[in-house]
Amino acid sequence: MNQKIMVTEPEAGENEVDTGYLSINIPLDSSFGPRERKLLDLLKKKIPARDCYFSLTDSELTFCYKTVDLDKIKALIEEHYLKTKPDEKNTSGHGKIIFDSLIDHVENNRSYGIKGRKRIYVGYNEERKVKGRKAQVTKRCSYFYAYPNNFTREVNEIPKEFENQILCGDSESVLKKLPDNCVDLVFTSPPYNFGLEYDTGEDGQHWESYFNKLFLIFDECIRVLKYGGRIIVNVQPLFSDYIPSHQIIANHFMEKKLIWKGEIIWEKNNYNCKYTAWGSWKSPSSPYLKYTWEFLEVFSKGDLLKSGLRENIDITGDEFKKWVVAKWSIGPERNMKKFDHPAMFPEELVERSLKLFSYQNDVILDPFNGVGTTTAVAKRLKRRYLGIDVSEIYCKKSELRLKELLDSYVSL
Ligand SMILES: C[S@@+](CC[C@H](N)C(=O)[O-])C[C@H]1O[C@@H](n2cnc3c(N)ncnc32)[C@H](O)[C@@H]1O
């Protein structure tokens, strides 16, 4: 049953009642009968009042809470309604809606975090072991490496000839034609220098010249990024060369005064390892480590906060809860043969990143756009986009992908 009951919170400032609990009120009607009262008795017995408790008047049920083990309460409610029969005079069974609505409301209320199995809604600072946390943070100087910088808050519109385009060329020279501060988010994965067979070849230079070229392009990306904009780089280091590309790239961004917002592990669960000679077999002399994941390095320009309109947020509560846990289990792209590209990332990786770090209508740039995974997802998620790739063939495939997306809308 999808029916919900209006749950009200007292006016702002009043909902943290003098006892230090948050509270919500639920109006009662005839559906609240003896069966519900029994459930209240049960919850009283099973849930410690120092965490949360109910109080009941003739017309209202009030739930007061500091910390809540939502799973336990949900299980108790479900079990109660399974095990008990509807009251003789009240057979509607609607009483459960009261408790479901309550749980729904608490679940959607922002908590400070989870301790054990309990969500903490009040008294977070009391729980923390560090005293005078704010002063300590100021003293330590968070992201000290990002100061001083010359970034300005000036915003430029992306010129029309670059908006929603796939451009073929070397990103370094194409990006030079863009004004400063006109892109909201860069999402990309550069060629890895593994010797993969791209259409234009040349994926295996001396590491130094590889990074020199990469950084010329990334510096342009930083320049065109708006204040508060994000740059997310998916990278797989070449472990067998002992080159930690993800760290080298991260260091470069920090040298350029970007703020490290975090690192996401893209767990591909790819145990399909080709090599059986694992370094020095069964010997500590030089064991060779194996990885089933890649990295996403996330950086911000100037500010960790990114402004945007509330109505342009498209991430759901469930998605947000799951995706802020920075280990994403997503299988590798299965369509590389179809697109004839050796190093595509899956659409889901882009989808999560765009919904978590950008707003609808934002401008998304991929300077190594390949066959257009980033641009196709950006379009599908109602973002504006610019994709650049040096290969004409890949650019044509990206265009085709966008056209197919458009055709699918028309046929709906
Ligand atoms: C790892 S692939 C990106 C694949 C893409 N994420 C996808 O899903 O299709 C890197 C791409 O960078 C392109 N590339 C290499 N050097 C470039 C440059 N200087 N400017 C623009 N693109 C370049 C290659 O052609 C290749 O398609």
Give per-residue pLDDT as tens, 251-307.
Answer: 999 999 999 999 999 999 876 655 545 667 788 888 888 889 999 999 999 999 998
**Top mean-pLDDT range of 133-147, 151-165, 273-287:** 151-165
Q: 260 Cβ partners below 8 Å, 6+ apart? A: 143, 250, 253, 254, 297, 298, 299
Give the model's pLDDT for residue 282: 81
- Ligand 1 atom at minimum distance from 371 CA: 9
Is 206 within 8 Å of 220 (Cβ atoms)? no
Q: Which residues contact 225 (CB under 8 A, 6 or more apart)?
A: 181, 183, 184, 186, 231, 301
- How far away, in angstroms, is 370 Cα from ligand 1 center? 5
| Residue 14's pLDDT band (cuts 50, 70, 90) | very low
Question: What's the 368 CA to ligand 1 centre distance in angstroms?
Answer: 4
Which residue lies with its CA nearest to atom 7 of ligand 1?
344
Rounded to whole angstroms, how far apart are CA atoms 282 and 348? 38
Q: What mean pLDDT value characterizes the chain?
A: 88
Mutate which of 336, 389, 399 for ligand 1? The one with the most ligand atoms within 8 Å of its CB, which is 389
Of all protein residues, the one whose alpha carbon is nearest to atom 5 of ligand 1 is 370
User: What residue owns the CA closest to ligand 1's atom 13?
Assistant: 368
d(CA 342, ligand 1 centre) in Å: 10
With the most atoms of ligand 1 within 8 angstroms of its CB, the residue from 236, 294, 369 to mutate is 369
- Indicate whether 381 pLDDT > 70: yes
CA of 374 to the centre of ligand 1 (A): 11
- Strand order, beta sheet including 113-115: 67-68, 118-120, 113-115
Distance from Cα 165 to the centre of ligand 1, integer Å: 16
C-alpha 16 – ligand 1 centre gap (Å): 53
- Residue with CA at minimum distance from ligand 1 atom 18: 170
For the ranges 62-66, 104-108, 131-135, 212-216, the lowest mean pLDDT is seen at: 131-135
Which residues form ligand 1's pocket by a CB distance below 6 Å?
A: 170-171, 189-191, 198, 200, 341, 343-345, 367-368, 370-371, 373, 388-391, 394
Beta partners for 20? none
Per DSSP, the residues of 291-323 read -SEEEEEEEESS-S-----GGG----HHHHHHH
At 15, is the pLDDT very low, low, confident or very high (cuts 50, 70, 90)? very low
* pLDDT computed for residue 197 by the predictor: 73
Contacts with 392 (C-beta within 8 Å, 6 or more apart), sequence order:
168
In angstroms, what is the span from residue 344 Cα to ligand 1's centroid?
A: 9
Q: Dump pLDDT digits (tens) for 72-91.
A: 999 999 999 999 988 776 65
Are 231 and 186 spatial neighbours (Cβ–Cβ below 8 Å)?
A: yes
| Terminal-residue alpha carbon distance, the chain | 30
Average of per-residue pLDDT across 132-158: 91
Residue 234 Cα distances to 299, 339, 374, angstroms = 12, 19, 12
Structural domains for the chain: 22-127 (no CATH), 146-410 (3.40.50.150)
Task: Please list, in sequence order, all residues whose beta carbon lies within 8 angstroms of the beta carbon of residue 21, skipping any fewer than 6 positions away.
Answer: 52, 64, 65, 66, 122
Q: Which ligand 1 atom is nearest residue 203's CA?
A: 15
Distance of CA 203 from the midpoint of ligand 1 (Å): 10
Angle between helices 347-357 and 373-380 (to 10 degrees): 50
